[in-house]
Amino acid sequence: MTKIYLYDTTLRDGTQREGISLSLDDKLKITRKLDEFGIDYIEGGWPGSNPKDVEYFQRVASLDLQHAKVTAFGSTRRKGVSPEEDANLKLLIDANTPVITLVGKSWDLHVRDVLTTTMEENLAMIGESVAYCKSFAKEVIYDAEHFFDGYKANPEYAVATLQAAAVNGADSVVLCDTNGGTLPWEVEEIFTAVAQALGPHVAIGIHTHDDGECAVANTLAAVRAGAVQVQGTINGYGERVANANLCSIIPDLQLKMGYGCVSDEQLRRLTELSRYVAEVANLEHDDHQPYVGGSAFAHKGGIHVAAMLKNPLSYQHIEPELVGNRQRSVVSELSGRGNLIDKAHQFGLNTESLNLPAVLTQIKELEAQGFTFEGAEASVELMLHRTHPAYVPPFEVIDYSVNVQQRRGRGLNAEAVVKVRVGPKRMHTVAEGNGPVNALDAALRKALLDVYPQLSSIKLVDYKVRILDGDNATAATTRVLIDTRQGTRQWSTVGASTNIIEASWQALADSMEYALLKRDA
């Protein structure tokens, strides 16, 4: 297969996204992960922009990278200054990376209005900067900023900027859609013309942004026209809306277009890589991201799932395992019997002993009342277990109450009373909390801990409330989702009611029952 070189700029362009701030250690962790995955170039940052990037290049040299080349990013020399006197170029050389990426202007508008210099001086800035960096035996990648806008405005000059880099030794030139507004057919047409103008001896890459939601398509179009290097970021993180998403580009190139990017084994780590970078960046992973999202191979419609049980390829464009993801079905009011069969198999249950029609009817009735089971699979598994003739609930709720008071000198206080039966024993406990749900949680644990001491390690990690019919104001139906964790295992349960305490109790009690159901796992 023809090799396409992967250039990752998550650590530089990706950090320009609002809400992302990577520490030095974060950047080093991601560097290791990108190297393990098989990325060819890792753009570590701009050493002339901040002290953290300077220190990154000092510390990254001690990493035992097995494959990737680290590159330092910076601009061409300033106007009227020789390369030897340019402080930015000095920092690039001092970064001591095997590769330097230089960015320069290819749009006459930027030369005139941003650099405020002449067209000839800009060409000299590009050529002299490339030649200077090459004199240190560096591999030099030249990024032609705003290339497509520049080509539309003045094609002869835009191509001349690339030639200035190429004749002075640039190892590759990269056409950048910096404003992200170019369309795929424009990219392919312009890229083809540029490749012909530069000749076969010049390696060309592509760098796109997603402002028109075409970054991935534009990258693929460029590869069709001859690009041998693709630049992008993990999960598409980047300035404004996004950069080109390598998590989509890589499988598109390798699985759909027949190009070689990474080994098959490395490709199977793509989902892991995507989620790892999101975790390090402290961002919620996008479940609806193609290929690597949690919903990428999730099936909700009953007809779809019924077909999938017969042949998984009937409603999937690839086998999810190829990118390290997995197929799953979603249980909801749109479900058919096949959804529950598939879900029961995932839970390791024998469907012959379960009353699937009863569970399906119950799910549809409860969703009509405001429940949702897409994000509460623990509640679904409990419903399936409860239809088994041999299932014995670990506890039975007799009744509960909760009282919230504003007490002088003590502030706001919540007190819960819970009565439960565990086998022949009847437990009656009282507990206080900083709110009604906390008090109920404490009282229920107190009632059960003597019999089930393992509940002490269970933690409520998230509590989500959604008002379903806001027109009814404070009388609206409320849905509550509770996320609970024990060690490395996490599960979600749901409740819904016009009374937020009842909705919370439903989800809370299910969470405890599920924990006890899984206590032997």
Domain boundaries, the chain: 5-262, 298-362, 396-517
- Residue 316's pLDDT is what? 75
Taking the chain, what is the end-to-end CA distance rounded to the nearest angstrom?
45
What is the pLDDT at residue 475? 61
Decide whether 5-262 matches 396-517 in CATH topology.
no
Of 445, 514, 519, 443, whose CA–CA distance to 482 is shortest? 514
Q: What angle do CA 245, 247, 251 make, to 5 degrees?
A: 120
Phi first, then psi: give them for residue 67, nearest 5 degrees: -140, -50
Following DSSP, what letter does each residue of 493-508 receive, concatenated? EEEEESSHHHHHHHHH
**pLDDT means over runs of 10, the chain (521 residues):** 94 91 91 95 88 90 93 94 93 94 94 92 96 94 96 96 96 96 96 94 96 97 96 95 96 96 94 91 88 79 62 77 80 57 70 75 72 73 81 88 80 87 90 87 89 86 76 70 85 84 88 80 48
Residues 496, 366 contacting (CB under 8 angstroms): yes
- 41 contact partners, CB below 8 Å, separation of at least 6: 5, 6, 7, 8, 68, 69, 70, 71, 99, 141, 229
Assess contact for 37 and 266: CB atoms under 8 A: yes
In the three-class reduction of DSSP (H, G, I as helix; E, B as strand; rest coil), residue 375 is classed as coil
pTM of the model: 0.72
> Looking at residue 470, what is its pLDDT?
56
DSSP one-letter code for 76: P
Phi, psi for 276 (deg, rounded to 5): -65, -45
CATH of region 396-517: 3.30.160.270
Query: Tokens at residue 269, please?
Result: 């780590």
Angle at the Cα of 463 from the Cα atoms of 460 and 467, rounded to 5 degrees: 160
pLDDT at position 506: 87
Class of domain 5-262: alpha beta
Give DSSP secondary structure letters for 414-473: EEEEEEEEETTEEEEEEEEESSHHHHHHHHHHHHHTTT-GGGGG-EEEEEEEEES-GGGG
d(CA 259, CA 129): 33
Q: Give pLDDT, residue 491.
A: 84
What was the pLDDT predicted at 141?
A: 97
pLDDT of residue 178: 95
